[in-house]
Structure 1
Amino acid sequence: QGPDPSLAYRPNLETNETKEKEGYRNFESGSLFDRVFKTYSLMHTSQTLAFVEQKHSEWTGCTHTRMSMMEAVMSLDQLVDESDPDVDFPNSFHAFQTAEGIRQVHPDKDWFQLVGLIHDVGKIMALWNEPQWAVVGDTFPVGCRFQNSIVFRDNTFENNPDDKNPRYNTDYGIYEPKCGLDSVLMSWGHDEYLYRVMKFNKCSIPEEGLYMIRFHSFYPWHSHGDYMHLCNEKDLKMLPWVQEFNKFDLYTKTTDLPDVEKLKPYYQSLIDKYCPGVLLW
């Protein structure tokens, strides 16, 4: 078997990185600040426990459409994430950038590479008229106190009724100590939706990959150490995997865009292995 022809089209992260790590996730300033702040303000006002329960009933039955995973990935060409302060180009490029970054460092973990490709596919909800504040951005638990590490915590939750509800605004809220994240309702978005699609269609990605999909936007947990009081042993075991994934999700965002057409055959082979055929969404 000869060399993989797509190798020549993979970006070199060491030479193409366009800014230092400290320059990512700048929520203080920048050309995209107004758009980002507006998205988070709407999210933090509207993402209540009742809202999240409603979205679960609307989306987790996977009754919206049928399509292949590669079709879903490429549909992200139509989407620019309004919550992202780092990039302003279609999300499909970020999918291949992330996957290729993982492939460089973890060539033996093809399921990990596939997670890099598909992790944001749940954002297709925005193409089906779900507002972006209910699709993109960092996630956080509902039904308990909103922790201080949430982006814009100080000035965007004042009109969220759960923030003043004594049943919900304590550290544990409706949950039990160390109940496990599987028992916690997260703010609704693309993480939880794609996780549910994976489970519904019985895709064979390992549990570590499913955690990456489900919690990669849960920055208060994997990057700031909040909400540990809700975690069980399984969550703590999976946390390093989510943190490893985050390095590629975040630091592969460069303006050096990969040659998607040359890379697609390789990633189609991974899709055929782990989530083949037409899926229900």
Structure 2
Amino acid sequence: MKKVIVDRHLHRCVLRVDMVREAHVDILPITNLVDQLLQDEEIKVGQQSQGAFEAPEINAFGQNFRDYTNAETERQKGVEEFYRLQHINQTYDYVKQMREKFSKLDKMEMSIWECCELLNEVVDESDPDLDEPQIQHLLQSAEAIRKDYPDQDWLHLTALIHDLGKVLLLPKFEGLPQWAVVGDTFPLGCAFDSFNIHHKYFEENPDSKNPAYLTKNGVYEQGCGLENVVMSWGHDDYMYLVAKENGTTLPTAALFIVRYHSFYRKYSNIDIRYIRLELIHTHLMNDEDRENLKWLHVFNKYDLYSKSKVHVDVEEVKPYYMSLINKYFPEKLRW
């Protein structure tokens, strides 16, 4: 059996080439991307401070991170039920309707920090690794990145805001169901990829019966750019709209992270810490997407593996993050 094995500083990847071939994925683009990721890793290590964040092997529940195969616990059963509902209900037309509806930003006005505090009321049912209030996840990921990348203040703030779109779960934002807000995102308007978590439930999605959506490219042209691809609706796209339409001065890489940080693919034999969904959907990307991926890869590790039962002292770190909010956002935003 042919393998490509990579062991570099913080990340590990085991790519079983025969497994990928059986999934009808081209081998060469994947191995080329692994090489590119290694080059990016060299850049990242050079940017990091000493004492870099070490990604743990297991989550707070004693399980592997992003393990969707263990259905023995009630939480795992709930996660699978979440993905069943998401895969059935997220359609191309549904997303178009939701984007039109929520892009009006007419729900309320509030500051970024006020939104952070609202997330004390939110727990993400799709996440097998965390059952803490979302504000703790935001601060844990932001503080971990701040430690390793002290000079990239925009990245610290990006970590703080990346999940703020989950306020869509609250009554003030119409109380959308969890399947319409959280979970991994995926492209619509093209074939559902077999690497999606709990892929079998897509069989009940109406789009799986539409011939226009059943090819690799579907309704898109190769290299069209992810900004032209309709993704499943959720907190990623909503927070991207909020930040963009309220005139944030964060760099484009930050907006890319916010919009695509839930864009994952499950590989049974590939460490998700290193290989993401881009392996499959590079044909839809343009050059700007590929450039922004470098920072998305940086962000990925902290988003996934900083989740902990050890809480961040909110009042202690609040002044620092308030200074970043004032730097990159207006005082009040439309939501």
The reply to whether TM is greater than 0.5 is: yes
> Within 5 Å, which residues of 2 pair with 1:236-251?
236-251=290-305
1:25 is aligned to 66
1:84 is aligned to 127
Deviation for aligned residue 1:19: 2.4
1:152 is aligned to 198
Cα distance in 2 for partners of 1:13, 1:255 equals: 16
For normalisation by structure 1, the TM-score amounts to 0.91
1:223 is aligned to 276
For normalisation by structure 2, the TM-score amounts to 0.77
Gaps of 5+ in 1: 1-11
Are residues 1:277 and 2:331 paired?
A: yes
- Which fold has the larger relative contact order, with Cα–Cα distance below 8 Å and residues 6 or more apart in sequence? 1
Post-superposition CA distance 1:113-165 (Å, at most 9, x none): 00011100000001131111010000001100111221111x21111011121
Aligned length: 268
Percent identical residues: 44
8 Å Cα contact 1:27/1:33 also seen in 2 = yes
8 Å Cα contact 2:123/2:133 also seen in 1 = yes
1:179 is aligned to 224
Post-superposition CA distance 1:80-132 (Å, at most 9, x none): 00100001111110000010011001100101000011100000001131111
Q: Tell me the SS of whatever aligns to 2:84.
A: helix
Cα distance in 1 for partners of 2:116, 2:217 equals: 37
Cα distance in 2 for partners of 1:42, 1:84 equals: 15
Amino acid at match of 1:180: G
Post-superposition CA distance 1:179-201 (Å, at most 9, x none): 00010010000000000001110
2:89 is aligned to 46
Runs of 4+ deviating beyond 4 Å: none
RMSD: 1.8
Gaps of 5+ in 2: 1-51, 267-274
Post-superposition CA distance 1:18-59 (Å, at most 9, x none): 727981101111531111111111110011000000101110
> Within 5 Å, which residues of 2 pair with 1:250-261?
250-261=304-315
Deviation for aligned residue 1:17: 4.7
Amino acid at match of 1:148: S
Amino acid at match of 2:323: S
1:126 is aligned to 169
Q: Tell me the SS of whatever aligns to 1:176.
A: coil
Q: Tell me the SS of whatever aligns to 2:123.
A: coil
Deviation for aligned residue 1:276: 2.8
Amino acid at match of 1:207: T
Which one of 153, 159, 164 corresponds to residue 116 of structure 1? 159
8 Å Cα contact 1:76/1:121 also seen in 2 = yes
